[in-house]
Chains A and B, each alone.
Chain A
């Protein structure tokens, strides 16, 4: 079945550590996105990539980094520079760019700083 897989589902990070969240899609979508979700704040865009080896900062990119070496993969690294990383992280990929445009989401990764 086609879809987006995020792993792990739960992740615990110690202060000062970098952690990487995985996002893989087999939908052959060009565009991929990372969102952070906090209660009452909706989904805020961290980074997005519209093509391999290229990506753009979203609204809250500070303290995060990404790479897009393959079409299928868009990992997100939460660095020690991110002061408040505890949140629910969602990855999405988008098809189309026309009438068929639709975003598909993974099941999310809940990151907790301990």
Chain B
């Protein structure tokens, strides 16, 4: 079955520190991959997406993600975290040949300490 796993439920970092949020997927073929961010009580905002080509993808708000086929991973990174980055982050995947089902991971809550 298709699935997306985010192993870390909650991550705490200090402001200015680097950040990496993990995401692993299980699909028959390479899916479309996404990272979304959600502030409390709000909808989801797209940070970045990967379809093919360059495995390092740049997104908004200084985020980037690297696709590693051998590890079935799509980890999100940011070199220096700001207090406003505190939110919940979701990794998602969709079938590579059609819309199909957009499947989400369980989410990672990011807390930023001053």
Contacts and interface: CB of A to CB of B under 8 A. Distances in A.
Contacts of A106: 43
A97 interface: yes
Interface stretch (B13-21, B66-74, B79-87, B97-105): B97-105
A105 B104 CA distance: 13
Q: Which of A42, A44, A90, A102 has the most CB of B within 10 A?
A: A42
Nearest to A92: B102
A48 interface: yes
Interface stretch (A14-22, A27-35, A74-82): A27-35
Give the interface residue-count category, chain A.
20 to 34
B41 interface: yes
B102 A33 contact: yes
Contact of B99 (A42, A101, A110): A101
A101 B51 contact: yes
A94 B41 contact: no
B51 A90 contact: no
Contacts of A108: 41-43
A41 B41 CA distance: 15
7 contacts: A4-B43, A43-B107, A44-B104, A50-B99, A92-B44, A103-B44, A103-B94
For the complex of A and B, the 3 pairs showing the least CB-CB separation, nearest first, are: A105-B43, A42-B106, A43-B104
